[in-house]
Amino acid sequence: MSHLFEPLKLGTLELENRIVIAPMCQYSAVDGSAQNWHLIHLGNLALSGAGLLIIEATAVSPEGRISPADLGLYSDENEAALGHVMKVLAKQSNMPVAIQLGHAGRKGSSHAPWDGGSQIRPGEPEGWKAEAPSALPHADGEDVPIALDEAGLARVREDFVRAAERAVRLGFCGIEVHMAHGYLLHQFLSPLSNQRNDAYGGTLENRMRFPLEVFDAIRAAVAPHIPVWIRVSATDWVEGGWDLESTLALCAAVKERGCAAIHVSTGGVSPKQKIPVGPGFQVPFATRIKAETGLPTIAVGLITDPQQADAIVQNGEADAIALARGILYDPHWPWHAAAALGAKVSAPKQYWRSAPREFPALFKDSKIGQR
Contact predicate 15/96, CB 8 Å: yes
Please state, in angstroms and rounded to a whole number, the distance separating the CA atoms of residues 336 and 172. 27
Please state, in angstroms and rounded to a whole number, the distance separating the CA atoms of residues 187 and 52. 28
Contact predicate 292/248, CB 8 Å: yes
Residue 62 is which amino acid? P
Please state, in angstroms and rounded to a whole number, the distance separating the CA atoms of residues 154 and 125. 28
Contact predicate 298/320, CB 8 Å: yes
**Annotation marks residue 183 as catalytic:** yes
Secondary structure of 194-263 in the HEC alphabet?
Answer: CCCCCCCCCCHHHHHHHHHHHHHHHHHHCCCCCCEEEEEECCCCCCCCCCHHHHHHHHHHHHHCCCCCEE
Q: What are phi and psi of 55, to 5 degrees?
A: -75, 165
Residue 19 is which amino acid? I
The one catalytic residue among 27, 183, 329, 351: 183
Contact predicate 348/368, CB 8 Å: no
DSSP string spanning 138-181?
Answer: SSTTSPPPEEP-HHHHHHHHHHHHHHHHHHHHTT-S-EEEEE-T
Please state, in angstroms and rounded to a whole number, the distance separating the CA atoms of residues 1 and 264. 26
Provide Rg for the chain, Cα atoms.
Answer: 20
Q: Which residues are catalytic?
A: 183
